[in-house]
Structure 1
């Protein structure tokens, strides 16, 4: 691994701040008295066992009542291990403190805590009458999560088998009145649960027993993003193909993951190196906007499937391969009615399929045609008839002069620059998570040594990451981080020791905890075991091995204990105005702003910052790291809906954002904002950035397009959040150059342009039927219409 001086998204430390970073809190804080006050505050309780929070946005009963009020059904996925790109997959770190504890294996400590939690959730929802048998929306319950994926990697088959069968027995003992399911449990399936499928495709998957339904619990609409990865996009055509294939092959229930993208708010969310955004390329995006054409294309599909519900559930079926296993016709019959699916799994050619009535249907590559009457194609997964929307970000905040008015406060590192006043001492280098209880991303390792004279060395630290800062005698001398997936690295940085006592302070930081895989909770973090040593620069040999020195430990930063992010009245005098230092690590920044008017979603653009955490009105928006640029991957240069979609390996495609910040826009829910009064943003800038470049935007539809509309189609266009269509820019019947938002037109139809202009301009939405009249006088051979409007 490269040294601390190598290329890194963590900004280099400006020379003028080398001393200031550790010592400047003496200014404006009462000198030594201020520092001692901070030291007394450096006590923070660890999370307590069985202390559950169901307040506010954690109100699970209210959530299911909202589902019921919306006329929807729900699957209760208790877990309690849920993966979900959350620390430890949702399991609390305090479980590790219990004697004899082994996660997700047959042992009394874990099973006791799991049953306690499961019973608590079930009892709350029973009391609220949320299960289907009580008139509620919950139709299925899930225990555990994708356990079958890790069973054979746990090195104890008997314990794993006993555990999963115990899970099923414990769950059924709850008497919830609805079936229990287990996803991805394809081997060693307990007899009293329904095993289900998760993945991009589940048409070739079938449950272990013939007497249970075929259920798809997670149809992945996209993929999560890591700090060094671009954005994943799964096309509307491909996901529609997967759904149609699933129901063609006797699927009974399908659930999207995610249907509504989200945000991993808060420091504790996100597995290692997962970004704060969890948009997942979902039909409803992270901000709650409709993502078109995916939303509309899937809505059209489900409307067709809904119209066939009775025959699909109760009819007989017959599969017929049409000369090749890649082409299949499935005919459902019930009484005197019939419905047909025609699937073409070739990814490079369309096929002609002739049905029993003699009619021939052209089925595009990698698509499914659905004929609810076995005569007329009502839907083809490759033909998108719905609107495509281009989302734009507009300036959304009235700011002072050229930008937000910032104040700042240095993080007080002085108490951590010696090895005094720690929580405890140990003559070894300890594992970070067990030591800190995950109270904070940060754990200080501090030691000292006596040295004769002045000498230069290389400080060598071996760590399991995820990042590391090194201070010697109060000065920041090095920093490094682990690239995604490689959580072991070595930092070597030059240091100079003086005569007498020298202090070495190492700040180890995590960026989310492991959340998936066998024995994930055993993955270490921090400088566990080391070695930490000083290397002679001439002989390149170890001069001092500090691994077993007396190390003092302290979790967290002074600003965390002081809760600087809450901007408490008693602490406001600590903020400094005037010239704002930029690219200064370990610095707090604060600004006030007015909430944008209207209802459009609000985002903060954090481009220019280094790495840290952001809060608005005390609400944690999550970790930011816009200085981390996404890798350049081949998938950014090719995109074709045809063929298997994959989130890794050679199958990656349809990526965007290569060589761009992994994430720069952060969702600020309007529920976090106060209308008509100042709102406060607080940043903790760990790596060093420029807060003066931060800005706010609103997000809405900028351009609305309809593509590939055929004669007879109803062409619908819509803006969002009260915006109206200001112009119709393109109405083309020929080949159109460019893409939605930047179409250049082709063979223009004056009649179509006039019709759409009259029906749409000044309205939030409009619908126009594509007729033969649009071709009159246009000289266009094509009857396929493309329309673009501006919102």
Structure 2
């Protein structure tokens, strides 16, 4: 038998291990990101790990790669990872290391947007509400309490990813990191320019101190740009945007593929042709890295549902829909564009370029040349007419309205952003669906409101009406305000409540007497509802609810919620004057609902006997939802 030597195999394994250990070197110049010494044209897409399930991640990432993407981008969700101070969650959909390992296993790069303020249509833009409890705290300003907490969390995330060897220099997929988010949009609205400037420069210094081995970016930071970061663009179009410095590449961190859904508003739709136009224009004008926001939007699980009245769906009209299905023709049309752009990578990043306007600034030809090769873009920004453009070789090309033609050899059009060649998805109803739904068995558990119908038990009492977010610590969307009063005889009144909450339910002596909600965008409203008091002690229970917290704008954390200050009063129905002002009565406070404490939504309720149901064609009767009072 022939003896087999294992030495060559062992040497190969050692070489492979050394290559992994050496990692990937990431840098940049004025034309592009530079990876292991090579300029790279990169196309990325946003997939946020908490907006899908770990079981979905491999399929989503695979489809993104097959769609022509090089990288996956995600925010980091501070209030999801640290819902209570120094109590951390890195499990399930918050297993950030597992997510990046899935990206790595797919052979893709990753972009880490730590923030930790992220906006993202997410409660408080990702900042935990418990920050408000810290003395001297000012969000996103130059003050020690905020900067200390921000650095603590940023360091936690960085160390966790370093330990898992997720940064490029360690052999991992992460090639870029972001600190802060769209701060340039609010700097001049914070009423303290010096503090804002000191803060953003502190952010850059703190980030670079982390030694992650990859560049740091700041999006929408065109003014007062720290010297050691790359500023980038966000928006529907970024072809007319250029960084302030010539030594950094042109990067587009958010190309909005659609928009978020809002209650009572029509679904937003952005066409495949328009997105393709924006991408082609970006790379025509020296763009080097573009990221789709979102490539897969997913779902806002639980109560972190973004700003008020954002729906739980974060579909975003993205190339992959809320459930991870391919949305055609958007997915395929962009995939075709990616393939053409990748074929031109070297000439676009190394070639000389010349822009020529063709008689009108709305029509431009860009010619890239390298050695004996050339590549051309012809863009037509007229939105109502096609144009004829004749190139140097005498050939005339018809360019449709609002489109870009790409000619990798300056002779033949390989792609036009307005001409879709991929298939279009059509949603059809599958036969037999009715029989499946008819056989479903629904069950429900009534919410037990009895414990909240008096003011005798609560977390604490106060002779004033408090602000909801600070009082509840944002551990629930619900806060009970409860009081009582002695009354002689029976009388009718109007219960008047002034609130900055989003929803309000009023109970008197255990009976639901009124409900009201704020119109979209306006978070101050009054509820007036008739009530009848009996002789003796009467209980008034007010349930205030928020539907997500504000997540964007200057000083957004200062917007109050709940029945802060009131007034709450009983109005005489005859004279229309205040009979009882309850605003400074003794109020008992309790956050949450009984079902939340039992974790019914997680099916953890031990006593299954309370569940009701069976075959039911619709929702249970309202009195069962409210509970038998």
Q: Tell me the TM-score normalised to structure 1 length.
A: 0.66
User: 2: distance between equivalents of 1:20 and 1:311?
Assistant: 29
CA distance, structure 2, for counterparts of residue 15 and residue 484 of structure 1? 62
Q: CA deviation at 1:365?
A: 0.4
SS in 1 for 2:195: helix
Q: Per the alignment, do residues 540 and 18 of structure 1 end up closer, same or farther by CA in structure 2, a change over 3 Å counting?
A: farther
1:570 deviates by 3.2
The answer to whether the 8 Å contact 2:165/2:171 transfers is yes
Aligned match of 2:366: 330
> Is it true that 1:310 corresponds to 2:346 in the alignment?
yes
Q: What's the CA shift for 1:405?
A: 2.6
Deviations 1:721-752 (A, max 9, x none): xxxxxxxxxxxxxxxxxxxxxxxxxxxxxxxx
Q: Partner residue of 2:164? A: 128
State whether residues 194 and 212 of structure 1, in contact with CA within 8 Å, keep that contact through their aligned partners in structure 2.
yes
Unaligned runs of 5+ in 2: 33-46, 56-86, 615-624
For residues 580-607 of structure 1, give each alpha carbon's deviation from its aligned partner in whole angstroms, at most 9, with x where no partner exists. xxxxxxxxxxxxxxxxxxxxxxxxxxxx
Q: Distance in 2 between matches of 1:381 and 1:29?
A: 29
* Alpha carbons 1:25, 1:410 under 8 Å: kept: no
Bigger proportion of residues as helix = 2
Contact 1:145 1:182 (8 Å CA) reproduced: yes
Residue 72 (structure 1) shift: 1.2
The answer to whether the 8 Å contact 2:255/2:292 transfers is: yes
- Given that 2:48 and 2:297 are in contact with CA atoms closer than 8 Å, whether structure 1 keeps it comes out as no
Q: Is the 8 A contact 1:78 1:143 kept in 2?
A: yes
Query: CA offsets, 1:178-213, max 9 Å, x none?
Result: 110000001110010000000000000010101110
8 A contact 2:399–2:405 mirrored in 1: yes
> Partner of 2:24: helix, strand, or coil?
helix
Judged with a 3 Å threshold, the aligned counterparts in structure 2 of structure 1 residues 97 and 8 are, in CA distance, closer, same or farther, namely farther
In structure 1, how many angstroms separate the alpha carbons of the residues matched to 2:464 and 2:19?
30
Give the direction of change, closer, same or farther, for the CA distance of 1:18–1:318 in structure 2 (3 Å limit).
Answer: closer
Distance 1:292 1:407, change over 3 A: closer
Alpha carbon RMSD of aligned pairs, Å?
A: 16.9
Q: Residue 211 of structure 2: SS of its match in structure 1?
A: coil
Q: Per-residue CA shift, 1:84-118, capped at 9, x if unaligned? A: 11111111111111111111111111111111111
Per the TM alignment, residue 567 of structure 1 is displaced from its structure 2 partner at its CA by 3.5
Alpha-carbon distance change, 103 to 405 in structure 1, aligned in 2, over 3 angstroms: same
Work out whether residues 23 and 414 of structure 1, in 8 Å CA contact, stay in contact via their aligned partners in 2: no
- Answer yes or no: is the 8 Å Cα contact 2:25–2:169 preserved in 1: no
Deviations 1:725-784 (A, max 9, x none): xxxxxxxxxxxxxxxxxxxxxxxxxxxxxxxxxxxxxxxxxxxxxxxxxxxxxxxxxxxx
Tell me how far 1:134 sits from its aligned partner.
2.0
Residues 524-554 of structure 1: CA deviation (Å, up to 9, x unaligned) = 1100011111111122111111111111111
Given that residues 51 and 297 in structure 2 are in contact (C-alpha distance below 8 angstroms), is that contact kept between their aligned partners in structure 1?
Answer: no
Cα deviation, 1:230-287, whole Å, max 9, x if unaligned, reads 1111000000000000011110110100011211011233221110000000011111
CA distance in 2, matches of 1:307, 1:219: 22
C-alpha deviations, 1:680-708, integer Å up to 9, x for none?
xxxxxxxxxxxxxxxxxxxxxxxxxxxxx
Q: Is the 8 A contact 2:378 2:405 kept in 1?
A: yes
How far 1:63 moved relative to its partner?
A: 1.1
Q: Secondary structure, in 3 states, of the residue corresponding to 2:497?
A: strand
Residue pair 1:46, 1:437 contacting (<8 A) in 2 also: no
Shift of 1:499: 1.6
Is the contact made by 1:19 and 1:475 (CA closer than 8 Å) also made in structure 2?
Answer: no
Structure 1 window deviating more from structure 2 (467-476 vs 535-544): it is: 535-544
Question: Contact 2:24 / 2:169 at 8 angstroms: preserved in 1?
Answer: no
State the structure with bigger RCO (CA 8 A, min sep 6), 1 or 2.
1
Q: Mark the runs of 5 or more structure 1 residues left unpaired by the alignment.
A: 34-41, 579-786
CA offsets 1:59-98 (integer angstroms, 9 cap, x no match): 2111111111112111111111111111111111111111
Q: Which of 49, 52, 59 is the equivalent residue of 1:47? A: 52
CA distance in 2, matches of 1:43, 1:169: 26
Pair 46,510 (structure 1): closer, same or farther in 2 beyond 3 Å: farther
CA distance in 1 between partners of 2:100 and 2:461 (Å): 48
CA contact (8 A) 1:22 1:417 kept: no
Query: What CA deviation, in whole Å up to 9, does each residue of 1:468-501 have, x standing for no partner?
Result: 0001111100000111110111111111111221
* Residue-by-residue CA offset, 1:582-633 (whole Å, 9 max, x unaligned): xxxxxxxxxxxxxxxxxxxxxxxxxxxxxxxxxxxxxxxxxxxxxxxxxxxx
> Is contact 2:54-2:93 (8 Å) kept?
no
Change (3 A) 1:301 1:386: same
CA displacement at 1:408 relative to structure 2: 3.6
Q: Identify if the C-alpha distance between structure 1 residues 558 and 25 changes in structure 2 by more than 3 Å, giving closer, same or farther.
A: farther
- Quote the residue 1:8 is aligned against: 7
Q: TM-score, normalised by structure 2?
A: 0.82
Evaluate the alpha carbon distance shift between residue 59 and residue 12 of structure 1 in structure 2; reply closer, same or farther with a 3 A threshold.
Answer: closer
